[in-house]
Amino acid sequence: MDARRAPRTVSDPKVRKVGFFTAPPDRSLSGPPDHRIFSFLTSPPPVVDNSSPSAGNSLSPVMIPPPRHSSANLSPLRRDSAEYFPPSASPTSPASFSDDVAAAAMGRGAVAASSSLPGGLGFDIAALKSAASSVPASGLTTVSVVNNFPIGISEKGGGVAVEMQNDQSTRSKSLKEKTTKAERRALQEAQRAAKAAAKAEGVAASEKKGGDRPQEKDRKKEVPQPRMQYDDKSRVEKAKRRAVVKQTEARNRVELFRHLPQYERGTQLPELESKLFELDPMHPAVYKVGLQYLSGDICGGNARCIAMLQAFQEAIKDYSTPPEKTLARDLTAKIGSYVSFLIECRPLSISMGNAIRFLKNRIAKLPLSLSEMEAKTNLHSDIDRFINEKIILADKVIVKHAVTKISDGDVLLTYGSSSAVEMVLLHAHELGKQFRVVVVDSRPKLEGQLLLRRLVGKGINCTYTHINAISYIMHEVTRVFLGASSVLSNGTVYSRVGTACVAMVAHSFHVPVLVCCEAYKFHERVQLDSICSNELGDPDVISQVRGREDINFLDGSSNSAILQLLNLIYDATPSDYVSMIITDYGMVPPTSVPVIVREYRREHLWI
Amino acid sequence: MPDTLQNPNPQNNISAYYQTRAAHHAVVTSDWLAQAQAAVAREPDGAPDTSVPPVAGKPFSVIDEFNSWRKQPDLAEAVAAIRALAAVIRNCQATTMMELEIELKKASDSLKLWDATSISLTAGCDLFMRYVTRTSALEYEDFNSAKSRLIERAEKFGEISCKARRIIAMLSQDFIFDGCTIMVHGFSRVVLEVLKTAAQSKKLFRVFCTEGRPDRTGLRLSNELAKLDVPVKLLIDSAVAYTMDDVDMVFVGADGVVESGGIINMMGTYQMALVAHSMNKPVYVAAESYKFARLYPLDQKDMAPALRPIDFGVPIPSKVEVETSARDYTPPQYLTLLFTDLGVLTPSVVSDELIQLYL
């Protein structure tokens, strides 16, 4: 939620320390460079070393910090600059002490070292940065860097002192968020200077920078890659050359959706079938799954994800490391190639994307000492565990929570065919609750008919209608249960096209909308509309009605220049229309999705 | 009394929570007396002394402890429960951590049973259990030091809960400006503390106080405010919309804060919040953090019912049904801010806090 949260230690999970935290800053490393800087400007340096750790957290966690007035802090310090009170004597303002010292130093720097020293100071800052960068990436690295920059930017003077003080007084793990634009610019300039200095300095500095780079890379890796935009001609050409499946792009495309891929249907399947035994790099299980996606045999977020993971399990089982290569890198590359193939068959759903990230993460985390057999069995069991915990058991928990919201006499509405919702309805029926279901369906997929068949088979009282009658039937409905392909970070529900319509109509009738979604499908992306990221289906399906061959008015429309058919697969429902999201972490409001993504993504969502 | 007997409501789950609130009020009505008698008769059933810890013959009973804490009228029930549970830990004879936890759970269950409709009691007990037992140090230390650690955390939790009102009062001072008009509903000790503090710091404001039928708790609140020399205007509940134009902000307490960020409070709060929202007046809720409950009502009927018979003063024919629910649910979109001892929060933060604590 915000950056002032304390690091998660054992104590006090409930009382949040407002503005104070206990991370003992590791000042020892930045000590010597500080000496250098400070010796330019002031007298004794060691105070910086001793100040913070001892006087860490003397305030009780519940106390609200007194308002910080910069003038109050700066002025007594200017007076006492010559003496340094021992750390123990200032228990009430532990955090401000080091601020004050640095501020004093900076203040004096502003006075004394203004124009003559930037070059020299820049050099020191470079050395400092390379020293600081070998400190493990904790909040401290930025602290020490920010600490010293104001000295370089001598023009800023008092203003920066105040900001810096405020930064340090609200010490947070990621100070980067608190730095102002000016400070960030300064940071960049200093980094550029550091790079130049590093080159001048030679090997030592560059080694240290090298140590810094993997951390940044890791951080970058965690940010998901932006999707490829298909209206960029050169990238499309490049992708085509690398493609396994030869596809022809559809010619008559809607202008607004040119950034999404669309291919001529009916051309891929025969070609792929003919190549079944030729495609050497592709594992047959993956190939099979790809074909199933293409033909639409496997449909639905969970089903696709499980099929893909099981295909990967097979592939890993049959995998053997080629000589001269490491298992981790080669296997990751292979999985990458399988994934590109699957993307060409059908663009990935968000659940599949998350599962692939999990798998690559596990491969990367394999200890190097493992033998190939052990590594493969490890991965196999990891995938099994993922499927079991994140999908199967998660569904059980969701069902358990959701049935508490169904009472006798309810009329439940559902749209399309969601596996989670189906399980909820069947379980509620087993528990003996008296309710009836309205199944809303829509062309061209008509997925609701499958759900209808299964529900009626179990003896549930059902009504079936199409989405154009939604406002007609909504007044009878007491609850709406929807499934989701994913829930995004701003609470937007990304689901089958038509879901947004159902949710909005329900909202206007004051019917609560409950979305059932497993937590592994959550994504940190934010999407404001249904256009920027979507999937385009086969447009010809719109113009044809199965069983009604006489409706052929639009045959041959693909050649018409003025008519374009659009078949969207997904849409985005804003969070205002959703009352509650039922996940395996319990029932949460849509605003809590980023909390779950943040708190548990690293630890639990993936592992 | 004939008029109460005429009330045709077949269910007899008179919410003890709302009865005891009347006990703290100077307003004594005929039906209150009847209920008090009923409650006294009921208590031995509702508070099973089967919560006797494994060692037989020990006189310590968590319910007794609870009752003794509750005697202080200013102490919230949940805080009394928390103190009682802390006493359980102190006096327990268990020798292993598992035994201690089981005993604690039993005590907590019996306390919750005492009044099944009180949300803050349930929430307080649950939060206490989570807070106290959620320390990984329990696995490493030997039993006695772990026990003392637990006692320490329990005491701390008790203290935080006790001090919660002071903290909330301090936090809300910035929101009360000179010359403002505040509308309050029901008798919330937290809101009273807020207003008391504001009055003591010489702020000039006036208060519109609703009557709060059927408890008529508003009368008690207006008494208290008059003692503080705060100008008070008493309204009947139906006059809320009429006077909302002159009001600058609405201040309510909460019986429980639910996961969606909404609150469950005395009947009439939802109404007031709706009117305030449609007239763009902020609605502030003052609630201690131990009231955060893991409930998620979707609408008014989705909660455990808490009924309270209403005394209309005239006999009601038996054919006429009476709506006796004592509380309603205000959804989060009508609330502006929550003042808690964790700080000034927006309603969406409640789930944030609960996720952190429970998962």
pLDDT in tens, A491-518: 999 999 999 999 999 999 999 999 999 9
Phi, psi of B336 (to 5 degrees): -90, -55
Q: Which residue has the higher pLDDT, B120 or A158?
A: B120
Helix A419-430 / helix A448-457 crossing angle, nearest 10 deg: 20
Contacts with B, A 48-67, CB within 8 Å: 62, 64
Q: Which of these three, A163, A196, A222, is where a domain ends?
A: A222
- From chain B, the residues in CB contact with A585 under 8 A are 355, 359
**C-alpha to C-alpha distance for A117 and A133, rounded to whole angstroms:** 23
pLDDT tens readout for residues A423-458? 999 999 999 999 999 999 998 889 999 999 999 999
The CATH number covering residue A358 comes to 1.20.120.420
Task: List beta partners, residue A461.
Answer: A436
- C-alpha B110/C-alpha B47 separation (Å) is 7
For residue A457, which amino acid is it?
G
Mean pLDDT, residues A471-475: 95
Q: Are residues A110 and A28 in the same domain?
A: yes
What kind and span of H or E run contains B82?
helix B77-91
| Range ranked top by mean pLDDT from A144-148, B162-166, B205-209, B303-307 | B205-209
Angle CA A307–A313–A314, to nearest 5: 95
Identify the closest residue of chain B to A402 by CA–CA distance. B296
The answer to whether A539 touches A368, Cβ cutoff 8 Å, is no
| pLDDT over 60 at A76, yes or no | no
Q: How many CB atoms lie within 10 A of CB B234?
A: 17
Choice among B1-15, B303-317, B336-350 with the minimum mean pLDDT = B1-15
pLDDT for A482 beyond 90: yes
Please identify which residue in the block is written with the tokens 């240290």. Answer: A208
Say if residues B249 and B180 touch (Cβ distance below 8 Å).
Answer: yes
For chain B, percent of residues with pLDDT exceeding 90: 38
Q: Work out the minimum CA distance from B137 to partner chain A, whole angstroms.
A: 8
Instruction: Answer yes or no: do A169 and A281 share one domain.
Output: no
Least confident of A83-92, A178-187, A535-544: A83-92
- Same domain flag for A385 and A411: no
Candidate ranges A264-273, A284-293, A388-397, B308-317; pick with highest mean pLDDT? A388-397
Establish if B143 touches chain A: CB-CB under 8 angstroms: no
Q: Which residue has the tokens 């001529």?
A: A264
- Whether the per-residue pLDDT at A57 is higher than 60: the answer is no
Measured between alpha carbons, how far is A361 from A222 in angstroms, rounded to an integer?
A: 10
Task: State which of A167, A192, A222 marks the end of a domain.
Answer: A222
Of A14, A62, A592, the CB nearest to B351: A592
Which one has a higher pLDDT value, B24 or B250?
B250
**Does B356 lie at the interface with A, CB-CB under 8 angstroms?**
yes
Cross-chain residue pair A585–B355, CB shorter than 8 Å: yes
Whether B134 has its CB under 8 Å from any CB of chain A: the answer is: yes
For residue B309, the model assigns a pLDDT of: 84
Calculate how close chain A gets to B281, using CA atoms only, in Å.
21
A294 within some domain: yes
pLDDT band at A562 (very low <50, low <70, confident <90, very high): confident
DSSP characters over A35-102: HHHHHHH-S--HHHHHHHHHTS--S-TTSPPPPP-HHHHHHHHHHTTSS---GGG--S-HHHHHHHHH
pLDDT of residue A3 exceeding 70, the answer is no
Whether residue A349 is found in the same domain as residue A469:
no
The model's confidence at residue A278, banded by pLDDT at 50, 70 and 90, is: low
Amino acid identity of A252? Answer: N
Inside any domain, residue A454:
yes
Which residue in A592, A599, A601, A603 has the most chain B C-beta atoms within 10 A of its own C-beta, making it the best mutation to test that interface?
Answer: A592
The pLDDT of A269-285, averaged and rounded, is 70
Tokens 């019917």 correspond to A511
Domain assignment present for A555: no
> Phi and psi (nearest 5°) for B210?
-80, 155
Residue A502: name the closest of A421, A567, A562 by CA. Answer: A421
Whether A118 has a pLDDT exceeding 60, the answer reads: no
CATH number for position A576:
3.40.50.10470
Measured between CB atoms, does A223 come within 8 Å of chain B? no
Q: Which residue of A has its CA nearest to B160?
A: A62
Contacts for B41-46 with beta carbons within 8 Å, 24 or more apart? Answer: B42/B16, B46/B16, B46/B113, B46/B114, B46/B115
Chain segment B200-210, per-residue pLDDT in tens: 999 999 999 99
Q: Mean of the per-residue pLDDT values for chain B? A: 81
Q: Which of residues 396-435 of A touch B (CB under 8 A)?
A: 405
Q: Are A50 and A89 in contact (CB under 8 A)?
A: no
Which of A420, A450, A444, A441 minimizes the C-alpha distance to A569? A444
DSSP H or E run through B339:
strand B337-340
Same domain, yes or no: A168 and A312: no
pLDDT > 90 fraction of chain A, expressed in percent and rounded: 31
Cβ-based contacts of B124 with chain A (< 8 Å) = none
Question: Would you call B299 and A589 a contact, using CB atoms and an 8 Å cutoff?
Answer: no
What is the identity of the amino acid at B232? V
In contact, A308 and A345? CB cutoff 8 Å: no
Contact A146, A217 (CB under 8 A): no
Look at residue A559 and tell me if it is in a domain.
no
Co-location of A456 and A420 in the same domain = yes
Which among B274, B261, B252, B241 has a CA at the least distance from the CA of B347?
A: B261
CA of B58, closest CA in chain A: separation in Å?
33
Q: Closest residue of A to B159, CA-based?
A: A62
Query: Could you identify the residue written with the tokens 């010359």?
Result: B179
* Chain A contact for B136 (CB, 8 A cutoff): yes
Higher per-residue confidence, A468 vs A252: A468
Instruction: Select the residue of B135, B298, B358 nearest A580 (Cβ to Cβ).
Output: B298
Q: Which of A10-14, A90-94, A436-440, A565-569 has the lowest mean pLDDT?
A: A90-94
Is the distance from CB of B329 to CB of B258 less than 8 angstroms?
A: yes
Q: What 3-state DSSP class applies to A587? A: strand
Residue B59 neighbours by CB under 8 Å, 6+ apart: none
Of the candidates A202, A222, A242, which is a domain's last residue?
A: A222
> For residue B67, what are the contacts with CB-CB under 8 A and spacing of at least 6?
none
Do β-strands A461-466 and A435-441 pair in parallel, antiparallel, or remain unpaired? parallel
Query: What's at A521, amino acid-wise?
Result: K
B348 in A contact zone (CB under 8 Å): yes
Check whether A70 has a pLDDT greater than 70: no
Q: Does A399 reside within a domain?
A: no
Strand partners, A463: A438
Which has more pLDDT, A602 or A31?
A602
Contact B299 A62 (CB under 8 A): no
User: Which tokens hold the place of B213?
Assistant: 């039928």
Contacts of A556 (CB under 8 A, 6+ apart): none
Euclidean distance between CA atoms A436 and A570, whole angstroms: 27
Q: What is the pLDDT of residue B84?
A: 85
State the residue range of the domain holding A378.
233-394
Contacts of A579 in chain B (CB under 8 A): 260, 298
Instruction: Assess whether A469 and A585 both reside in one domain.
Output: yes
The Cα–Cα gap between A193 and B118 comes to 64
Residues within 8 A of B (CB atoms), A 562-581 only = 579-580
How many contacts (CB atoms, under 8 Å) link A and B?
Answer: 77
Q: Which of B163, B289, B352 sits opposite A592 (nearest CB)?
A: B352
The set of residues, in sequence order, having a beta carbon less than 8 Å from that of A188 and lying 6+ positions away, is none
In a domain, A543, yes or no: no
Contact A264, A250 (CB under 8 A): yes
DSSP string, A469-529: GHHHHGGG-SEEEEE-SEE-TTS-EEEETTHHHHHHHHHHTT--EEEE--GGGB-S---SS
Going from the C-alpha of B131 to that of each of B157, B259, B290, the distances in angstroms are 8, 18, 11
Domain count, chain A: 3
Per-residue confidence band for B65, with pLDDT thresholds at 50, 70 and 90: confident
Decide if A381 is inside a domain.
yes
What single letter denotes the amino acid at residue B227? K
Work out the minimum CA distance from A471 to partner chain B, whole angstroms.
21
Q: Among A191-205, A296-310, A382-396, A551-565, which is the least confidently predicted range?
A: A191-205
Cα–Cα distance measured from residue B113 to residue A139, given in angstroms and rounded to the nearest whole number = 47
Q: What's the pLDDT band for B235 if we cut at 50, 70, 90? A: very high
pLDDT tens digits along A404-429: 999 999 999 999 999 999 999 999 99
Say yes or no: A385 and A409 in one domain.
no
CA distances in angstroms from B192 to A85, B119, B247, B262, listed in the order given:
44, 20, 18, 21
Residue A5: DSSP 8-state: P
> Count of CB atoms within 10 A of residue A59's CB?
19
Same domain as A285, residue A178: no
Annotate B102-126 with DSSP letters as a single string.
HHHHHHHHHHHHHTTT-HHHHHHHH
Domain co-membership, A244 together with A180: no
Per-residue pLDDT reduced to its tens digit, B83-112: 888 888 888 877 777 888 888 888 888 888
A10, A62, A580: residue with CB nearest B167: A62
Answer yes or no: is pLDDT of A468 > 60.
yes
Say if A521 falls within a structural domain. yes
- A181 and A251 share one domain: no
User: Do A503 and A385 share a structural domain?
Assistant: no
Contact status of B207 with chain A (Cβ, < 8 Å) = no
* pLDDT of amino acid A497: 94
Interface confidence: ipTM more than 0.95: no
Percent of chain B with pLDDT over 70: 81
Maximum mean pLDDT: which of A288-292, A403-407, B214-218: A403-407
